[in-house]
Chains A and B, each alone.
Chain A
Amino acid sequence: MNKPNKVLILGSGALKIGEAGEFDYSGSQALKALKEEGIRTILINPNIATVQTSDNMADDVYFLPVTPYFVEEVIKKEQPDGILVAFGGQTALNCAVALYRAGVFEKYNVQVLGTPVQSIIDTEDREIFKVKLDQIGVHSARSVAVTTMDDALAAGEKIGFPIIVRAAFALGGLGSGFANNLDELRTLAQKSFTTSDQILVEESLKGWKEVEYEVVRDAFDNCITVCNMENFDPIGIHTGESIVVAPSQTLSNREYHKLRTIGIQTIRHLGIVGECNIQYALDPVSEDYRVIEVNARLSRSSALASKATGYPLAFVAAKLSLGYSLAELKNSVTQTTSAFFEPALDYVVVKLPRWDLGKFAGVNRQIGSAMKSVGEVMAIGKSFEEAIQKGLRMLDTGKRGFVANRPEEDLDNATIDQLLSEPNEERIFAINSAFEAGYTLEQVHQLTKIDHWFLQRLYTIFELGNQLAAGRPTGLDGLETKLLRDAKKAGFSDQQIAVQLLGEGDVKADELLVRARRKALGVLPVVKQIDTLAAEFPAKTNYLYTTYHGTENDLTRETAKSILVLGSGVYRIGSSVEFDWCGVQAVQTAAAEGYKTIIINYNPETVSTDYDVSDRLYFEELSFERVMDILDFEQPGGVILSTGGQIPNNLATRLEEAHAPILGTTAAHIDEAENRHKFSSIMDELGIAQPRWKELTSLGAMQEFVREVGFPVLIRPSYVLSGAAMNVVSNNFELEEFLKTAAEVSAEYPVVVSEFIQEAKEIELDAVADHGEIVSYAISEHVEFAGVHSGDATMYYPPQRVYVGTIRKLKIIAEKIARRYEISGPFNIQFLEKNGEIRVIECNIRASRSYPFVSKISGNNLIQKATQILLGRPVERDESERIYDLPFVGVKAPQFSFTRLPGADPVLRVDMVSTGEVGCLGDTAEEALLKSMLSVGYKIPQKTVLISGGPIISKVALLAPAALLIKKGYTVYATQGTHRFFAENGIPSSLLFWPDDLQEPNVLTYLKEKKIDLVINIPKNLSKGELDNDYKIRRTAVDFGVPLLTNARLAKAFIQAFCTLEMKDLKIKSWNEYKAM
């Protein structure tokens, strides 16, 4: 074997819809696999929140965009012998194809390890792919690849409607959809052509079963399928949007193995080396099939398959790309048997997607052939019922399972029919509504095309729910052990049982009654191992789940001193890979301190759910019930819940009441910070200024408060995550509208209204305290003024434009707060600063989103320190203020996924809408900012910039940047008001008419014809017409792939950066080089 000495690995950049945490998992595994071989690894990934960009992973990291330009520059500098391109999703793959076509690998003599680039092209170019399949007699959907609209329409007529349109070279089904006629096809094709030069018009297989296989092949032509998966939702709904079951449940042996054999045949023919995924449509009434696609790289499905089976696909794929044969590798679970095998599962896995569509104004909520979900969960059980009910709770959308959810208004049959046949993210609950309304299984099947078997399983849950509810007259005393056990086997939580049996009373108290009764009756879950071989050989790893379909635990409690770390659960807007990084850091620190570590988490896209990260991994719910079950079983020395974001933090009070050994700040103090009312009172008590606020009790009281402080005001309920249901209202009409929706959200907690301070600087402090004394901290500054959610804000670390005096004041306030709350462990405070006056917005007594960013850039690992404190270790107070010594600047920038969310208004508000982030380094703030913005998809404009300046304040702010653009030779287009204002101030701009002016030259025409390279549109909260116009400009920009900025401060910073720096000025400097400065 000719092993390379130095290998470059391409990451996937920021998390976005269609490309999320799964690539942190796959990249991390690849790094581990190479490291084991003594190969030097260089990683390019601007996603600073990931585990793979941590200190101990790659030998060196470049926080740079994964684009051909930067990758080539790194190759030029590093001179690697090999490159891995299959571990960074579509971003890395597209970049590699471009570099290959440009001859870059050849030029620098870099060997592409694993699957050859030509094989990748063969799978990505739909026409070549079809030809390849035809060569071996494998069926694919009848389709025509076209590059022009006329050809697309002709193809549609030839194939016959309905048809599906897909864009080639696109991640997560971007730019695809169904068309029932020529008009729909025209609209769809136009949009698809904006994301890809080539589109595919093909026969619709809507309603067929969708089945996937993960296939692994080595350089010796040995080939296996590691896992097959069946979609609960038939073809028509993207697999990323589908509920997926592993292994397949409704396929006969003939079907299973027919597709398996075709998969192996296809992958051999394509010449893939490593791992790939093949997707099929299977006729539900015959053995007819079509191959839909092959992903010649690690994918979301492969991450899922790895977690579902315990087979480390990414790790093995990396080894195979070095030239190992599968037979030479060991099964890392048994450590004795071969890696050349196909896992046998003795459990059922269900994956469910998590959407956050409610956060986007105007978005089309229907789910279909393009991806919109932002995260996923994986649930494990011995039955489909057990797994799916676990999964529905794991989504953390407030659902208790398939049944026993908070009563909603009864849906009429027409609405149910529509929800079933034109699904949105709530479809599965519409199935329950249909059962309640007396629909037969056949009716539901006709409307959904979901296989009868799955529907029957759901019906079993529905019936059990009814049986429990029938026991209300006798309550808990009358509950028979058999029914209780059957309900638990079908995945009912204690809370669901409480609701069915005792009604919607004090649900949390009733849940405890059910729990006590259940334990008294001896109905307990058992702990089972995932071992890849269905118990045929003993497992050496502790990859665990719980089930009620068992009588024996696979292992006994951990007897050495142990620490339980609660993971961050499902990725959603506001909580993603950054908390996985925090959890992994906490576990590694505890292990280094000599503890056995236990993790509970259920997110298949994470590194924390790799079974080699902890001593025991419970792939389980982060619910009070399940955490208590595991605590009862394991009796660990302590529980860390402050590194997993809001889900574990929300459990603090209940766990403490149940005497769980929570480490760090007390639950009472956590609550006093989370509860806005208590928090504000305490700030008053400490004499710390904050925006004036009041607890909302009625509309009248609110209006009175508004008269006092004036509009705009900020409204938010307690226990806010990423600003959910948080909003700024500017007038009475908006106020009333908001209250209608807020009332639903805030049933359990009061709503607080506060004055909204405009043009205030937002500053954040991430810190670690020990018994109330701060031992370490990092301060960062937002580019945007307050009003943009901190998760959507662009951030400098260290701060660039904050007075020393301000920093001193912030620190004094933070010290007061830390002492008052007796904080031990991590916390975060957000401040407003205006005219030297400082106000506190909020304090979270847990790790925050910015922990990995500030920890990595400062070189001061806040989580490590926090964990040491939680474990009672002495931690020295930081000696110097690192922020003044740092010779470079870090900028964190948000990634938006608006392109994937048709209709959504791409504008920044107090509610978070970004799906990911990057963090880049530079010698100057401008350099770091430009690198980070290029990393999230912005491009330096070639010739033209459109400015629609919004309110007068932002028009003024944009004057100097506009002048700079003109000076640099750019053509500045402007909408009417801005054009006039610029003219009055001596800046020449070309007028473009508003969309509703219906007059040329019109903004929309220019956007559609790609005559504009950058759009700056600052929203105004004025007339309805203006809002519509603004919306149309923003939406069109997004739909046609034109970079868009909606914040004047950020626009100014960006323009300044690209007008003073050219690409060649952006230094190709590794993390180690920055550290050595």
Chain B
Amino acid sequence: MTQTVKLILEDGTSIEGESFGAFTSAAGEVVFSTAMTGYPENLTDPSFAGQILVLTTPMVGNYGVPGEDLYESISKIFESDKIHIAGLVVTYYSEEHSHWNAAKSLGDWLKEYNIPGICGVDTRMLTKKLREKGAMLGKIVAEDDVPLHDPNLDNLVAQVSPAGIRHYGSGQHKIVLVDCGTKTNIIRCFLERDVELIRVPWDYDFTTLDYDGLFLSNGPGDPKMCEATIQHLQKALQQDKPIFGICLGSQLMGLAAGGDTFKLKYGHRSHNQPVKLTGTQHCYITSQNHGFAVDTATLPAEWDMLFENLNDGTCEGIKHKTKPFFSTQFHPEAAGGPQDTEFLFDDFLKSVVEYKNR
């Protein structure tokens, strides 16, 4: 028997729908994603921590959820070891699923992590509202009401970052991955490229480590919360070892360099964001999930914008004019989404080799 739940927004909007997943209440920041595939990847992306995710693709759950196969001690398919979203909002939840590698339904999976879902919602109406008014706080209410809660006031990175150091692989390039909530596909991308990976917590002083290259991961929330990371990073920027940052990592690089970041009205969450490599005719379709961005105007003189968003002109990555430091606001590791910029991992490792051979 279906149970009714409500989605309530901070502007007073109240939408009734049917419950799926856990029948429970939850609050968070309501954001929308226009990606058409990849809910197992999206839901486990730590960057979504604290957010109630609205999907514009209407039919969700069609291919179920795969089993937890492991690859080098990390999940083969998921982007972390749990669901990170606070709640899920869809038009049509397909309870019956069909796929050769499905182990369970989306609803059962949400139940496992006690995450509520609401279906039967006009997500286009909701998306237009978020587009016009900006991302809003909201809550899914089952039986007991919960207060609204702004996750951007929390240090979300501290919540999703691991407690200790972990080592992966035994390749010849030693890369430190500063984990602010990394997606596991970033780890997979490195392990496919002859890398020994040292995964450290967000506030770990990695400058004490011996490494060839530094990587700054994606993660949730406001980058300015990560003061410790920024401080360590500033030290690294004094040196010449290659640095690569993705998403939150890009914003952290911008802040450490002396620039500023700002909150986008409703963010970029989709698999179809077009970016252009500055000064060229080369364009790429990218996967994105972020609510904050580097303010290009505030970048110091020795830094350039590396990529630009073709739709709204926002910064999609920065680059040091002389040193091997660069970043992307988008996700070259994809998962989910287009894989067209995975070559950036190769570019990074090339600069690592150059650094080592210098």
Which residues of A does B touch, CB under 8 Å? 220-224, 247-254, 256-257, 260-261, 264, 284-286, 325-327, 336-338, 340-348, 382-384, 451-453, 456, 526, 528, 533-538, 549-552, 554
CA distance A286 to B100 in the complex (A): 7
Contact indicator A346/B334 (Cβ below 8 Å): no
Q: Which residues of B contact A452 (CB under 8 A)?
A: 96, 98
* Complex A-B, nearest 10 residue pairs according to Cβ-Cβ distance, in ascending order: A253-B38, A253-B336, A452-B98, A338-B310, A344-B34, A453-B98, A534-B56, A534-B34, A552-B125, A220-B281
Which residue of B32, B66, B100 contacts A285 across the interface (Cβ within 8 Å)? B100
Q: Which residues of A contact B63 (CB under 8 A)?
A: 250-252, 453
Q: Which residues of B contact A451 (CB under 8 A)?
A: 98
Which residue of B59, B77, B270 contacts A536 across the interface (Cβ within 8 Å)? B270
CA distance A1001 to B15 in the complex (A): 81
Contact indicator A325/B281 (Cβ below 8 Å): yes
The answer, yes or no, to whether B204 is at the interface (CB within 8 Å) is no
Distance in angstroms from B312 CB to nearest chain A CB is: 8
CA distance A222 to B286 in the complex (A): 13
The digit string for B59-92, where 1 denotes a CB below 8 A from any CB of A, is: 1001100100000000001000000000000011
The digit string for B227-251, where 1 denotes a CB below 8 A from any CB of A, is: 0000000000000000000000000
Which residue of B37, B92, B276, B337 contacts A382 across the interface (Cβ within 8 Å)? B92
Distance in angstroms from A332 CB to nearest chain B CB is: 14
The answer, yes or no, to whether B193 is at the interface (CB within 8 Å) is no
Q: Which residues of B contact A348 (CB under 8 A)?
A: 58-59
Contact indicator B124/A535 (Cβ below 8 Å): yes
Contact indicator A327/B62 (Cβ below 8 Å): no
| Chain B residue with the shortest CB-CB distance to A252 | B63
Contact indicator A534/B274 (Cβ below 8 Å): no
CA distance A533 to B266 in the complex (A): 14
CA distance A341 to B335 in the complex (A): 18
CA distance A272 to B38 in the complex (A): 29
Using known A-B contacts A252-B37, A254-B77, A327-B310, determine if residue A340 contacts B59 with beta carbons closer than 8 Å. Answer: no
CA distance A822 to B66 in the complex (A): 68
CA distance A247 to B97 in the complex (A): 17
Distance in angstroms from A157 CB to nearest chain B CB is: 32
Which residue of A341, A456, A535 contacts B56 across the interface (Cβ within 8 Å)? A535
| Chain A residue with the shortest CB-CB distance to B337 | A257
The answer, yes or no, to whether B283 is at the interface (CB within 8 Å) is yes
Q: Which residues of A contact B274 (CB under 8 A)?
A: 327, 338, 340-341
Interface residues of B in 97-112 (CB under 8 A from A): 97-101
Interface residues of B in 1-46 (CB under 8 A from A): 15, 32, 34-38, 40-41
| Chain B residue with the shortest CB-CB distance to A459 | B96
The digit string for B275-316, where 1 denotes a CB below 8 A from any CB of A, is: 010000111010000000000000000000000001110000
Which residue of A249, A338, A456 contacts B311 across the interface (Cβ within 8 Å)? A338
Contact indicator B97/A453 (Cβ below 8 Å): yes
Which residue of A341, A345, A453, A550 contacts B36 across the interface (Cβ within 8 Å)? A345
The answer, yes or no, to whether B152 is at the interface (CB within 8 Å) is no
Which residues of B does A touch, CB under 8 Å? 15, 32, 34-38, 40-41, 56-59, 62-63, 66, 77, 91-92, 94, 96-101, 120, 122-125, 127-128, 131, 270-274, 276, 281-283, 285, 310-312, 334-340
| Chain B residue with the shortest CB-CB distance to A536 | B34
Which residue of B37, B272, B282 contacts A251 across the interface (Cβ within 8 Å)? B37
| Chain B residue with the shortest CB-CB distance to A341 | B274
| Chain B residue with the shortest CB-CB distance to A221 | B282
Using known A-B contacts A337-B311, A342-B271, A533-B34, determine if residue A549 contacts B62 with beta carbons closer than 8 Å. Answer: no
Distance in angstroms from A549 CB to nearest chain B CB is: 6
Using known A-B contacts A285-B100, A344-B36, A345-B57, determine if residue A536 contacts B127 with beta carbons closer than 8 Å. Answer: yes
CA distance A453 to B63 in the complex (A): 8
Which residue of A251, A256, A264, A383 contacts B92 across the interface (Cβ within 8 Å)? A383
Q: Which residues of B contact A285 (CB under 8 A)?
A: 100
Using known A-B contacts A451-B98, A453-B62, determine if residue A341 contacts B340 with beta carbons closer than 8 Å. Answer: no
13 CB-based A-B contacts, threshold 8 Å: A223-B340, A251-B37, A252-B63, A253-B336, A261-B339, A341-B273, A534-B270, A535-B56, A536-B32, A536-B270, A537-B131, A538-B131, A549-B92
Q: Which residues of A contact B57 (CB under 8 A)?
A: 247, 344-346, 534
Name 9 extra pairs, CB < 8 A, besides A341-B311, A344-B35: A221-B282, A251-B37, A327-B274, A327-B276, A346-B34, A382-B58, A534-B57, A536-B270, A551-B122
Distance in angstroms from A313 CB to nearest chain B CB is: 16
CA distance A341 to B96 in the complex (A): 32
Contact indicator A253/B127 (Cβ below 8 Å): no
Distance in angstroms from A264 CB to nearest chain B CB is: 7
Q: Which residues of A contact B270 (CB under 8 A)?
A: 344, 534, 536
Using known A-B contacts A264-B340, A383-B92, A384-B59, determine if residue A340 contacts B283 with beta carbons closer than 8 Å. Answer: yes
Contact indicator B337/A253 (Cβ below 8 Å): yes
Using known A-B contacts A253-B337, A535-B124, determine if residue A453 contacts B56 with beta carbons closer than 8 Å. Answer: no
| Chain B residue with the shortest CB-CB distance to A482 | B2
Contact indicator B122/A552 (Cβ below 8 Å): yes
Contact indicator B100/A256 (Cβ below 8 Å): no
Q: Which residues of A contact B98 (CB under 8 A)?
A: 250, 451-453, 456
Q: Which residues of B contact A284 (CB under 8 A)?
A: 100
Most buried by A among B120, B334, B338: B338
Which residue of B41, B96, B128 contacts A253 across the interface (Cβ within 8 Å)? B41
Contact indicator B283/A326 (Cβ below 8 Å): yes
Most buried by A among B91, B98, B282, B338: B98
Contact indicator A224/B127 (Cβ below 8 Å): no
Q: Which residues of B contact A346 (CB under 8 A)?
A: 34, 56-58, 123-124, 127
Contact indicator A343/B272 (Cβ below 8 Å): yes
Q: Which residues of B contact A326 (CB under 8 A)?
A: 283
Distance in angstroms from A152 CB to nearest chain B CB is: 35
Contact indicator A347/B94 (Cβ below 8 Å): no
Contact indicator A344/B58 (Cβ below 8 Å): no
Distance in angstroms from B101 CB to nearest chain A CB is: 7
CA distance A522 to B41 in the complex (A): 39
Q: Which residues of A contact B59 (CB under 8 A)?
A: 249, 348, 382-384
Distance in angstroms from B86 CB to nearest chain A CB is: 21
CA distance A285 to B101 in the complex (A): 8
| Chain A residue with the shortest CB-CB distance to B127 | A535
Distance in angstroms from A100 CB to nearest chain B CB is: 28
Q: Which residues of B contact A550 (CB under 8 A)?
A: 122, 124-125
CA distance A528 to B127 in the complex (A): 13
CA distance A346 to B96 in the complex (A): 20
Contact indicator B124/A528 (Cβ below 8 Å): yes
Q: Which residues of B contact A528 (CB under 8 A)?
A: 124
Contact indicator A382/B101 (Cβ below 8 Å): no
Using known A-B contacts A253-B335, A261-B340, A327-B310, determine if residue A222 contacts B125 with beta carbons closer than 8 Å. Answer: no
CA distance A343 to B124 in the complex (A): 15
Q: Which residues of A contact B127 (CB under 8 A)?
A: 346, 534-536
Using known A-B contacts A253-B335, A383-B58, A453-B94, determine if residue A344 contacts B272 with beta carbons closer than 8 Å. Answer: yes
Contact indicator A549/B56 (Cβ below 8 Å): no
